[in-house]
């Protein structure tokens, strides 16, 4: 764990803090305008994801063709610009989509730089620290953003802009100039070819689809809590709802720290067990009507989520680094996970607009997680202690 890794951790913490603070600031803005329907908040989340899907063939090329520290800098500037648009009272759906464009550009550089800074043995540890710092940022950013926004939306947005600028400046201090190389040929064709190459083995497919499943479920759960908490727990404050999501984030942080001991990359098959438990806990959560029991259930779901997503994330980065390039691999990962998140958010937005009961929606979410885990791990071979297969199946 060299000094540059710690600089990555700091810039990631600041930008993730701002990402979560700006989400709940935008949610507060929406909730203050009662004329907007129940569909608007999940639609807001979906607008953030559009850039991940539309620009997936290009953001990986950008990350691999330039020093990744400069990409991190530029992405934070774009996020700051989107936040300024919110400050100028431009439609939140459009402004938040611009922030999503910055995030889509940032992600391949953030994850792609890790295997370029550390060796194979340290990669899981580095990923654990990245996930841990991200969760800490979610914990603090979610609550701070909600509290500041309830006091003053303008103050919250100015604070968030400052965080993005600070993250951008720290990214420039990373002493890392490696350039994988500019891709040649058409972006869409290269992206399709890289996708086929990355998904050539069962472990790569499981990792890609597993990460997608986790974040799709997490995205729906996050916005579902905005409807479920007032209906079941009688919580109406944005800050109190944000505190609920904090327990999920805290659980993910704990799960991330347990990963190196419980699920090393060479034993990837174990991760699916955590996903099954996560789905079961979400189903159980739907039957809860006590605040502290709900917090405990969300914490347990978070632990399972951390145990599931961290090892498959690290495995996918390492597979990509040794095959198509880390930036390209993360871009493909982002394409799949954000496509599923976008679809999940869209479906939930339609259901919310139709007045579907949030309790029934939560039960359905848990069942879908368990069924989807069975499907994506159907052909996953038994662990042999070897991460890479000799050939594609």
- Find the CATH number of the domain harbouring 165: 1.20.1250.20
Q: Residue 144 domain-assigned?
A: yes
In this prediction, residue 183 has a pLDDT band, given cuts at 50, 70 and 90, of low
Bigger pLDDT: 112 or 310? 310
- Count of other CB atoms within 10 angstroms of residue 381: 13
In this prediction, residue 66 has a pLDDT band, given cuts at 50, 70 and 90, of confident
**How far is it, in rounded angstroms, from Cα 344 to Cα 212?**
11
pTM: 0.69
Q: Residue 382 domain-assigned?
A: no
The runs of H, that is alpha helices, within 114-237 are 114-117, 120-151, 153-171, 187-198, 202-228
The distance in angstroms from the start CA to the end CA of the chain is: 35
Single out the residue of 45, 100, 21 nearest to residue 352, CA to CA: 45
Q: At what angle do helices 202-228 and 238-262 cross, to 10 degrees?
A: 160
The rounded radius of gyration (Å) of the Cα atoms in the chain is 20
Average pLDDT over residues 326-331: 66
Q: Is the pLDDT of residue 313 over 70?
A: yes
Average pLDDT over residues 32-37: 67
Bigger pLDDT: 251 or 178? 251
Average pLDDT over residues 17-45: 81
Total domain count, the chain: 1
Q: Is the pLDDT of residue 94 over 60?
A: yes
Q: Residue 120 domain-assigned?
A: yes
Structural contact between residues 307 and 258, judged by C-beta atoms closer than 8 angstroms? yes
Q: Residue 316 domain-assigned?
A: yes
Q: Residue 99 domain-assigned?
A: yes
Q: Quick check: helix, strand or coil at residue 263?
A: coil
Q: Residue 392 domain-assigned?
A: no
Structural contact between residues 74 and 105, judged by C-beta atoms closer than 8 angstroms? yes
Structural contact between residues 138 and 22, judged by C-beta atoms closer than 8 angstroms? no
**How far is it, in rounded angstroms, from Cα 27 to Cα 12?**
23
Please give the pLDDT value at position 184: 57
Please give the pLDDT value at position 391: 39
Angstrom CA distances, 305 to 16, 210, 282, stand at 18, 11, 11
Q: Residue 385 domain-assigned?
A: no
Q: What is the pLDDT of residues 255-296, one digit of tens each?
A: 878 887 787 766 777 888 889 999 999 999 988 888 899 999
Domain region containing 143: 3-178+197-376
Angstrom CA distances, 131 to 20, 64, 136, 272, 321, stand at 14, 22, 9, 19, 19
Q: What percent of the chain has pLDDT over 90?
A: 21
Q: Residue 384 domain-assigned?
A: no
Place of tokens 């910055």: 102
- Count of other CB atoms within 10 angstroms of residue 131: 22
**How far is it, in rounded angstroms, from Cα 182 to Cα 196?**
20
């Amino acid at each position: 764990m060299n000094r540059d890794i710690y600089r990555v951790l700091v810039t990631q913490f600041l930008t993730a803090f701002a990402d979560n603070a700006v989400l709940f600031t935008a949610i507060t803005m929406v909730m203050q305008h009662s004329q907007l329907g129940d569909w608007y908040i999940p639609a807001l989340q979906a607008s953030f994801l559009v850039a991940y899907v539309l620009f997936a063939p290009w953001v990986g090329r950008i990350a691999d063709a330039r020093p990744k520290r400069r990409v991190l800098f530029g992405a934070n500037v774009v996020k700051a610009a989107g936040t300024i648009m919110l400050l100028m009272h431009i439609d939140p759906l459009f402004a938040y989509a611009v922030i999503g464009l910055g995030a889509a550009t940032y992600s391949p550089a953030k994850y792609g730089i890790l295997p370029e800074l550390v060796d194979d043995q340290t990669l899981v540890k580095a990923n654990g620290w990245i996930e841990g710092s991200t969760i800490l940022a979610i914990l603090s950013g979610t609550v701070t953003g909600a509290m500041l926004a309830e006091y003053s939306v303008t103050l919250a947005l100015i604070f968030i802009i400052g965080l993005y600028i600070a993250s951008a400046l720290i990214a420039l201090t990373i002493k890392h100039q490696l350039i994988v190389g500019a891709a040649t040929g058409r972006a869409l064709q290269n992206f399709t070819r890289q996708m086929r190459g990355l998904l050539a083995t069962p472990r790569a497919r499981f990792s890609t689809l597993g990460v997608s499943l986790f974040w799709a479920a997490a995205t729906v759960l996050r916005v579902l809590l905005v409807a479920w908490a007032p209906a079941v727990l009688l919580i109406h404050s944005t800050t109190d709802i944000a505190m609920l999501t904090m327990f999920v984030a805290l659980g993910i942080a704990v799960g991330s720290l347990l990963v190196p001991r419980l699920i090393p990359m060479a034993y990837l098959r174990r991760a699916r067990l955590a996903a099954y438990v996560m789905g079961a806990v979400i189903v159980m959560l739907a039957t809860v009507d006590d605040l502290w029991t709900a917090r405990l259930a969300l914490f347990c779901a978070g632990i399972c989520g951390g145990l599931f997503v961290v090892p498959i994330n690290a495995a996918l980065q390492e597979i990509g680094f040794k095959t198509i390039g880390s930036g390209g691999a993360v871009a493909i990962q982002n394409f799949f996970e954000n496509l599923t998140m976008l679809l999940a958010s869209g479906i939930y937005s339609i259901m919310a607009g139709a007045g579907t009961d949030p309790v029934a929606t939560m039960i359905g979410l848990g069942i879908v997680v368990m069924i989807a885990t069975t499907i994506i791990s159907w052909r996953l071979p038994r662990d042999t202690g070897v991460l890479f297969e000799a050939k594609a199946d």
